[in-house]
Amino acid sequence: MRLQNHQKLFERLRHSDRGSAVIMIFALITIVGALAVSNTTVLANLKRELQLVERRQLHHSGAIARTNQPASTRPQSIDRDKAAAKQLEK
């Protein structure tokens, strides 16, 4: 009789171990899923920020390139402005 009681107790403990193992696996899967979602969100934010920095750099380098152009390749609007200023001086 005592042996049967010990067996039943041991079986109950094994079943509870199985249940806690399943709960632990679900918890780990949930944690991994949360990390994957957060990484995706962070990568999307970093991509937008990188595009913004690139756009600013291209805009800044474009402004520098326009001011460093030789007179023959400058836009005609600058030459027209200079001509209008000379006419006003006369």
pLDDT digits (tens, 9 = 90+) for 21-47: 889 999 999 999 999 999 999 999 999
Element (H, E) at 8: helix 2-67
The pTM assigned to this predicted structure is: 0.48
pLDDT digits (tens, 9 = 90+) for 47-66: 999 999 999 988 888 766 66
Which are the contacts of 74, defined by CB distance < 8 A and separation ≥ 6? 66
Top-confidence residue, 52 or 4: 52
Element (H, E) at 72: none
Where do the structural domains in the chain lie, given as residue ranges?
2-89
Structure-block tokens of residue 61:
């380098």
Q: What is the dihedral of CA 52, 53, 56, 59, to 10 degrees?
A: -100
